[in-house]
A and B are shown apart, each in its own frame.
Chain A
Amino acid sequence: GENVEQHPSTLSVQEGDSAVIKCTYSDSASNYFPWYKQELGKRPQLIIDIRSNVGEKKDQRIAVTLNKTAKHFSLHITETQPEDSAVYFCAASIKAAGNKLTFGGGTRVLVKP
Protein backbone atom coordinates (compact mmCIF):
# COMPACT_ATOMS: atom_id res chain seq x y z
CA GLY A 1 0.00 0.00 0.00
CA GLU A 2 0.87 3.67 -0.06
CA ASN A 3 3.50 4.98 2.37
CA VAL A 4 3.97 8.70 3.07
CA GLU A 5 7.05 10.05 4.83
CA GLN A 6 7.12 13.59 6.23
CA HIS A 7 10.04 15.75 7.40
CA PRO A 8 10.90 17.43 9.64
CA SER A 9 8.90 16.21 12.61
CA THR A 10 9.32 19.56 14.36
CA LEU A 11 10.08 22.99 12.96
CA SER A 12 10.71 26.18 14.85
CA VAL A 13 10.82 29.47 12.93
CA GLN A 14 10.92 33.13 13.78
CA GLU A 15 7.82 35.14 12.99
CA GLY A 16 8.06 36.46 9.45
CA ASP A 17 10.39 33.72 8.23
CA SER A 18 9.37 30.93 5.86
CA ALA A 19 8.59 27.33 6.76
CA VAL A 20 9.01 24.37 4.43
CA ILE A 21 7.71 20.85 5.04
CA LYS A 22 8.56 17.98 2.71
CA CYS A 23 6.80 14.70 2.00
CA THR A 24 7.56 11.69 -0.15
CA TYR A 25 5.14 9.01 -1.28
CA SER A 26 5.71 5.50 -2.54
CA ASP A 27 2.87 4.72 -4.94
CA SER A 28 3.22 6.36 -8.35
CA ALA A 29 -0.55 5.91 -8.85
CA SER A 30 -1.27 8.53 -6.18
CA ASN A 31 -3.01 11.48 -7.75
CA TYR A 32 -4.22 13.76 -4.96
CA PHE A 33 -2.12 15.43 -2.27
CA PRO A 34 -3.83 17.50 0.43
CA TRP A 35 -2.32 19.28 3.40
CA TYR A 36 -4.14 19.48 6.72
CA LYS A 37 -3.54 21.75 9.68
CA GLN A 38 -4.43 20.51 13.14
CA GLU A 39 -4.46 22.81 16.14
CA LEU A 40 -4.23 21.31 19.61
CA GLY A 41 -7.34 19.34 20.45
CA LYS A 42 -9.04 20.24 17.17
CA ARG A 43 -9.99 18.46 13.97
CA PRO A 44 -7.66 18.34 10.95
CA GLN A 45 -8.62 21.07 8.51
CA LEU A 46 -7.72 21.19 4.85
CA ILE A 47 -5.53 24.19 4.03
CA ILE A 48 -4.46 23.44 0.46
CA ASP A 49 -4.37 20.53 -1.97
CA ILE A 50 -2.81 19.70 -5.31
CA ARG A 51 -3.68 17.18 -7.97
CA SER A 52 -1.25 15.19 -10.04
CA ASN A 53 -1.80 17.18 -13.21
CA VAL A 54 -0.49 20.36 -11.56
CA GLY A 55 3.06 21.17 -10.45
CA GLU A 56 2.41 24.10 -8.15
CA LYS A 57 -0.48 25.82 -6.42
CA LYS A 58 -0.56 28.95 -4.33
CA ASP A 59 -3.09 30.44 -1.92
CA GLN A 60 -1.97 33.69 -0.29
CA ARG A 61 0.93 32.78 2.05
CA ILE A 62 0.70 29.06 1.39
CA ALA A 63 2.03 27.18 -1.62
CA VAL A 64 2.44 23.53 -2.48
CA THR A 65 4.74 22.00 -5.09
CA LEU A 66 4.61 18.51 -6.55
CA ASN A 67 7.35 16.57 -8.29
CA LYS A 68 5.74 13.43 -9.71
CA THR A 69 8.99 12.04 -11.07
CA ALA A 70 10.68 12.16 -7.68
CA LYS A 71 7.41 11.38 -5.86
CA HIS A 72 7.68 14.23 -3.45
CA PHE A 73 5.65 17.29 -2.58
CA SER A 74 6.26 20.24 -0.29
CA LEU A 75 4.34 22.86 1.67
CA HIS A 76 5.72 26.39 1.83
CA ILE A 77 4.44 28.96 4.29
CA THR A 78 5.79 32.46 3.85
CA GLU A 79 5.73 35.38 6.30
CA THR A 80 4.84 33.04 9.15
CA GLN A 81 2.63 34.31 11.96
CA PRO A 82 2.07 32.95 15.49
CA GLU A 83 -1.34 31.60 14.41
CA ASP A 84 0.45 29.32 11.95
CA SER A 85 1.70 27.32 14.95
CA ALA A 86 0.07 23.89 14.66
CA VAL A 87 0.72 20.36 13.45
CA TYR A 88 0.67 19.99 9.68
CA PHE A 89 -0.03 16.71 7.92
CA CYS A 90 0.57 15.82 4.30
CA ALA A 91 -1.43 13.03 2.69
CA ALA A 92 -1.78 11.14 -0.56
CA SER A 93 -4.59 9.21 -2.16
CA ILE A 94 -5.02 6.91 -5.11
CA LYS A 95 -8.09 7.24 -7.30
CA ALA A 96 -8.57 3.47 -7.39
CA ALA A 97 -8.74 3.42 -3.58
CA GLY A 98 -11.66 5.82 -3.41
CA ASN A 99 -10.81 8.90 -1.43
CA LYS A 100 -8.86 7.07 1.26
CA LEU A 101 -5.98 9.23 2.46
CA THR A 102 -2.65 7.99 3.72
CA PHE A 103 -1.09 10.55 6.05
CA GLY A 104 2.47 11.48 6.84
CA GLY A 105 3.58 11.50 10.46
CA GLY A 106 3.04 15.24 10.89
CA THR A 107 5.22 18.30 11.48
CA ARG A 108 4.84 20.36 14.61
CA VAL A 109 5.45 23.98 13.61
CA LEU A 110 6.19 26.60 16.22
CA VAL A 111 6.33 30.24 15.15
CA LYS A 112 8.17 32.32 17.70
CA PRO A 113 7.09 35.96 18.02
Chain B
Amino acid sequence: NAGVMQNPRHLVRRRGQEARLRCSPVKGHSHVYWYRQLPEEGLKFMVYLQKENIIDESGMPKERFSAEFPKEGPSILRIQQVVRGDSAAYFCASSPPTTGANVLTFGAGSRLTVL
Protein backbone atom coordinates (compact mmCIF):
# COMPACT_ATOMS: atom_id res chain seq x y z
CA ASN B 1 0.00 0.00 0.00
CA ALA B 2 1.77 3.10 -1.26
CA GLY B 3 -0.33 5.55 0.74
CA VAL B 4 -1.40 8.89 -0.67
CA MET B 5 0.93 9.95 -3.46
CA GLN B 6 1.28 13.58 -4.42
CA ASN B 7 3.29 15.08 -7.23
CA PRO B 8 5.12 17.16 -7.86
CA ARG B 9 6.63 17.52 -4.40
CA HIS B 10 7.99 20.94 -5.30
CA LEU B 11 6.76 23.26 -8.01
CA VAL B 12 8.06 26.70 -8.95
CA ARG B 13 5.94 28.96 -11.09
CA ARG B 14 6.14 32.58 -12.19
CA ARG B 15 3.22 34.89 -11.64
CA GLY B 16 0.51 34.32 -14.22
CA GLN B 17 1.43 30.70 -14.96
CA GLU B 18 -0.68 27.66 -14.16
CA ALA B 19 0.00 25.10 -11.47
CA ARG B 20 -1.34 21.54 -11.55
CA LEU B 21 -1.03 19.37 -8.48
CA ARG B 22 -1.85 15.68 -8.57
CA CYS B 23 -3.02 13.29 -5.88
CA SER B 24 -3.43 9.53 -6.04
CA PRO B 25 -5.37 8.31 -3.00
CA VAL B 26 -4.73 5.17 -0.99
CA LYS B 27 -5.84 2.16 -3.03
CA GLY B 28 -9.51 1.57 -2.33
CA HIS B 29 -10.17 5.08 -1.03
CA SER B 30 -12.76 7.01 -2.99
CA HIS B 31 -12.85 10.25 -0.98
CA VAL B 32 -10.22 12.93 -1.58
CA TYR B 33 -9.67 16.17 0.30
CA TRP B 34 -7.38 19.09 -0.48
CA TYR B 35 -5.96 21.34 2.22
CA ARG B 36 -3.72 24.40 1.96
CA GLN B 37 -1.09 25.29 4.52
CA LEU B 38 0.50 28.71 4.39
CA PRO B 39 3.94 29.04 6.03
CA GLU B 40 3.71 28.87 9.82
CA GLU B 41 -0.07 28.39 9.66
CA GLY B 42 -2.64 25.63 10.03
CA LEU B 43 -4.39 23.42 7.53
CA LYS B 44 -7.27 25.10 5.72
CA PHE B 45 -9.87 22.96 4.00
CA MET B 46 -10.31 23.64 0.31
CA VAL B 47 -12.38 20.93 -1.35
CA TYR B 48 -13.80 17.44 -0.84
CA LEU B 49 -14.35 15.18 -3.83
CA GLN B 50 -15.55 11.71 -4.63
CA LYS B 51 -15.09 10.08 -8.01
CA GLU B 52 -16.50 12.46 -10.65
CA ASN B 53 -18.23 14.57 -8.00
CA ILE B 54 -17.37 17.67 -6.01
CA ILE B 55 -19.05 17.19 -2.65
CA ASP B 56 -17.94 20.33 -0.80
CA GLU B 57 -15.93 23.19 -2.27
CA SER B 58 -16.69 25.71 0.45
CA GLY B 59 -12.99 26.38 1.06
CA MET B 60 -12.02 27.00 -2.54
CA PRO B 61 -11.29 30.56 -3.67
CA LYS B 62 -14.00 31.66 -6.08
CA GLU B 63 -11.61 32.38 -8.92
CA ARG B 64 -8.58 30.67 -10.46
CA PHE B 65 -8.87 27.47 -8.42
CA SER B 66 -10.53 24.26 -9.58
CA ALA B 67 -10.40 20.59 -8.63
CA GLU B 68 -11.43 17.34 -10.18
CA PHE B 69 -11.34 13.65 -9.39
CA PRO B 70 -12.05 11.77 -12.60
CA LYS B 71 -13.27 8.21 -12.90
CA GLU B 72 -9.78 7.16 -13.90
CA GLY B 73 -6.57 8.75 -12.73
CA PRO B 74 -5.54 11.07 -9.92
CA SER B 75 -7.32 14.00 -8.42
CA ILE B 76 -6.00 17.31 -9.75
CA LEU B 77 -5.95 20.71 -8.10
CA ARG B 78 -5.49 23.40 -10.71
CA ILE B 79 -4.49 26.98 -10.01
CA GLN B 80 -4.64 29.36 -12.93
CA GLN B 81 -2.74 32.66 -13.19
CA VAL B 82 -0.86 32.06 -9.97
CA VAL B 83 0.01 34.97 -7.66
CA ARG B 84 2.61 35.17 -4.90
CA GLY B 85 -0.08 34.61 -2.27
CA ASP B 86 -0.68 31.13 -3.69
CA SER B 87 2.73 30.03 -2.40
CA ALA B 88 1.94 27.33 0.12
CA ALA B 89 2.01 23.61 0.79
CA TYR B 90 -0.99 21.81 -0.66
CA PHE B 91 -1.86 18.57 1.08
CA CYS B 92 -4.14 15.90 -0.25
CA ALA B 93 -5.81 13.35 2.01
CA SER B 94 -7.98 10.35 1.32
CA SER B 95 -10.44 8.18 3.23
CA PRO B 96 -12.40 4.98 2.59
CA PRO B 97 -15.80 4.92 0.87
CA THR B 98 -17.90 4.80 4.03
CA THR B 99 -18.61 8.13 5.68
CA GLY B 100 -18.60 8.95 9.33
CA ALA B 101 -15.56 9.18 11.59
CA ASN B 102 -13.05 7.59 9.26
CA VAL B 103 -9.37 8.40 9.41
CA LEU B 104 -7.88 10.74 6.84
CA THR B 105 -4.49 9.73 5.49
CA PHE B 106 -2.37 12.61 4.23
CA GLY B 107 0.09 12.75 1.39
CA ALA B 108 3.51 14.35 1.70
CA GLY B 109 2.27 17.57 0.14
CA SER B 110 3.13 19.67 -2.87
CA ARG B 111 5.03 22.85 -2.13
CA LEU B 112 4.24 25.62 -4.57
CA THR B 113 6.52 28.62 -4.84
CA VAL B 114 5.41 31.54 -6.98
CA LEU B 115 8.17 33.88 -8.06
Contact = CB atoms under 8 A, between A and B. Distances in A.
B76 to A, nearest CB: 19
A89 B106 CA distance: 13
B108 A100 contact: no
A45 interface: yes
Contacts of B55: 98
Range of interface residues on chain B?
20 to 34
Contact of B43 (A42, A49, A89, A95): A89
B85 interface: no
Contacts of B18: none
Contacts of B41: 105-106
B25 interface: no
Interface of A: 1, 31-32, 34, 36, 42-46, 49, 51, 89, 93, 95, 97-106
For the complex of A and B, list the 6 residue pairs with the smallest distance between their C-beta atoms, beginning with the closest. A32-B101, A95-B100, A99-B95, A103-B43, A43-B106, A105-B42
